[in-house]
Amino acid sequence: MKIDIPRQSRASNDEALVRDDLESDPFKQFERWFKQAQQSDELEPSAMSLATTDNMTISLRTVLLKYFDLQGFVFFTNYDSKKSKAIMANPEVALLFPWLKMERQVKISGRAERVSTKESLKYFASRPKDSQIGAWASQQSSHLSSRQILLSQFDKMKNKFKNGAVTLPDFWGGYRVVPHTIEFWQGRDNRLHDRFEYARSDGEEWTISRLAP
């Protein structure tokens, strides 16, 4: 079976990505674009695709960026999940921010490292209580025979913590993706897109190169 995808018309895009306008530090460039994405009508600017491989199988899913700093990009998850097991086997990962309405992408390759327990606890404490309980209730990536089992476990955990603070699970925490390369992609007319890649050398300096679309 073959299903043709109709060509969609699109407005002309005159927005250019120019080398002289780029920040020398990719984190500052990301901050600039991320703020613009937040101010636009992108549905969820912090949503990023996370690709992992355990050296046998490649997996892809969407997670949420919770914050970033000069070291990398941080997300949180269950350490017993499939993604965590893949990272344990091979910490080299890739991220993609698809800001489609702005015709922009940010592509990141790097190494995923666990954040400290202190850092995980600080973020966990900022979550709504029901979200904290949800972390306890779900054995992420395990098989369920029904949704009711999940809801029953949630109710059980909610009752357990009804009179006090929810503690940080020892199986839950954050990863920081420390980038080797960060690419900024700006859509242009006639598929002649602007692409610039920041690559980190051994001396911790970033070099910037234009890539062919």
CA–CA gap between residue 206 and residue 18 (Å, rounded): 17
Q: Which of 211, 165, 209, 212 is nearest to 22 (CA)?
A: 209
Q: Which of 61, 191, 200, 210 is catalytic?
A: 191
Please, what is the angle between helix 129-137 and helix 147-160, to 10°? 120
Q: Which of 128, 141, 121, 134 is nearest to 61 (CA)?
A: 141
* 191 is known as an active-site residue: yes
Please give the helix or strand (H or E) that residue 150 lies within, else none. helix 147-160
Residues annotated as catalytic (active site), given as ranges: 191
